Amino acid sequence: MDTLEKVEILGRSAQYDLCGEACGSEATRKRDDLGRWIYPAVLPDGRRVKLLKVLLTNACEGDCAYCANRRGRDFRRVSFAPEELARAFEGMWRRGQVEGLFLSSGVCGHSGQTMDRMIATVEIIRQRLSFPGYVHLKILPGATQAHVERAMQLADRVSVNLEAPNPARLNLIAPGKDFANALLEPMRWVQRLREESGGRLAPAGHTTQFVVGAAGEPDREILATTDLLYRELGLTRAYFSAFQPVPDTPLEGHPSTPLWREHRLYQSDWLLRKYGFTFEELIFDEEGNLPRQADPKMMWATAHPERFPVEVNQASREELLRVPGIGPRAAARIVWLRRQGKFRELSDLRHVGAIPQRAAPFVLLDGRRPPYQLPLW
C-alpha cells in the first residue's frame, strides 16, 4: 500500500478523535485533490490554518465499546512507521497543503510502544524536518510520565481523552481503561509540568474529550467533572462528542445522542469558562440533563427574576454577562462605549454585537423597558 493511501485510511479513522481546533463541525473538513482529510482550524492564538488529522495506526488492542477502531472489528488495519508519516506530512506541508498536525493513534501492542512511535514521528518532523508550526499530540491511556514530558516538549497542545465523567461510567464503555491511573494521572503530570515550565511546555495547553450519551450519564456528571478539571487540573478546554453508534460494536444498537445535547453542553461550558458562572448555578432537569427548551443562560435568567432588569448604562461587566444575548465581547464594548453616550434603543445593543430580542426582557435602557415579544417557549 502506498503512503497516500495510508494517509487516506488513517485520516478517515481519525474522524472519531475530535480535533478541538477544527472550525465548526467535523463536517467542514475537506478532501484535498488526493483524497486526504484536511481540517480548516482556528489555533488557540486565533490564527486560521489547515490541519492534517491522522492516526499513526488504526490497529488497536483496546475494546472500547463505542469505538470503530476497537480490536476484533473487521476492517482494514493500517500503520505508519514514524519516518513514513513524517515524510508524508513534510510533503503536504512543503506544498502548502497543510500548516499543522493533529496526531492520534490506536494502541498497537503496548501503549508505551505506540507513544514511542508517535513521539518519534514528531521528533523527526520538528528536529530533522524543522517544522516550526502547530502540533497537537494525543497522549494515550497509560502513557508514562517520561512520555508526557517529551510530548509536551514537542507539541503545542496535548490531550488526554477521558471519554466518560467518572470511573463507573468509563467502566461501562471502556472496561480496559483505568480512569484514575491511566487518564487522570497523566492529566496531573501535564498540569504540573506546565506549571513548572511557566507554560513553556505545551504552550497551547491541554484538552480532553467526552463521548456523550454512550454510558447513560446525565449532563450533570459530565459538567461536574469538566468544572473540576478546569479548577483543579488547569484544563484548557473540554470537547463533547455526541455518541453515534458504529456497526459491529457492542453499542451498535444504542440510540445516537442528539446533536442539540452536545450543543447545550458547549453552551454550558462557555458559561463556566467565559461568563463567570459556577457549576452550582447551572440548571438541570430531574434526570440531571440540561433542558432542551432554552439555552442554559436563558434558563438561569428566567429562574432568577430578582437579578433583572439590569440597567445597561450602569451595570457592571459581570452583570451584563448574565443577560441573555450579551456575550463577553458585547459586554466589553458596552462598558467602553457608554462613556461616550447612553444606550437608549435596542438597535444600540445590536451595534455592539448583542442580540437585542434576547436581551430585551432583561434590561432597562436609560430607565425604560424596551418593547419585546414574549418568547414562544
Residues binding ligand SF4 (CB under 6 A): 60, 62, 64, 67, 69-70, 106-107, 174
Q: Are 152 and 190 in contact (CB under 8 A)?
A: yes
> Minimum distance between the CB of residue 16 and ligand SF4, rounded to whole angstroms?
7
Three-class DSSP category at 167? helix
- Residue among 345, 20, 267 nearest 161 (CA): 20
Residue closer to ligand SF4, measured from CB, 194 or 254? 254
> Minimum distance between the CB of residue 71 and ligand SF4, rounded to whole angstroms?
7
> Minimum distance between the CB of residue 141 and ligand SF4, rounded to whole angstroms?
6
CB atoms within 10 A of CB 250: 14
> Minimum distance between the CB of residue 80 and ligand SF4, rounded to whole angstroms?
15
Q: Are 108 and 114 in contact (CB under 8 A)?
A: yes
Rounded CA gap, 207 and 221, in Å?
18
- Residue among 48, 2, 1 nearest 23 (CA): 48
- Angle formed by the axes of helices 111-123 and 145-154, nearest 10°: 20
Q: Are 134 and 169 in contact (CB under 8 A)?
A: no
Rounded CA gap, 218 and 165, in Å?
10
Residue closer to ligand SF4, measured from CB, 111 or 236? 111
Residue closer to ligand SF4, measured from CB, 44 or 112? 112
> Minimum distance between the CB of residue 168 and ligand SF4, rounded to whole angstroms?
18
Residue closer to ligand SF4, measured from CB, 10 or 282? 10
Residue closer to ligand SF4, measured from CB, 180 or 303? 180
> Minimum distance between the CB of residue 89 and ligand SF4, rounded to whole angstroms?
20
Residue closer to ligand SF4, measured from CB, 15 or 267? 15
Residue closer to ligand SF4, measured from CB, 71 or 263? 71
- Torsion angles phi and psi, residue 49, rounded to 5: -140, 170
Q: Are 338 and 312 in contact (CB under 8 A)?
A: yes
* Helix (H) or strand (E) segment spanning residue 282: none
- What letter would DSSP give residue 4? H
Q: Which residue is nearest to ligand SF4 (CB)?
A: 62
> Minimum distance between the CB of residue 70 and ligand SF4, rounded to whole angstroms?
4
Rounded CA gap, 50 and 97, in Å?
7
> Minimum distance between the CB of residue 109 and ligand SF4, rounded to whole angstroms?
12
Kindly give, in sequence order, each residue whose CB lies less than 8 Å from that of residue 181, ignoring residues fewer than 6 positions away: 142
Residue closer to ligand SF4, measured from CB, 8 or 163? 163
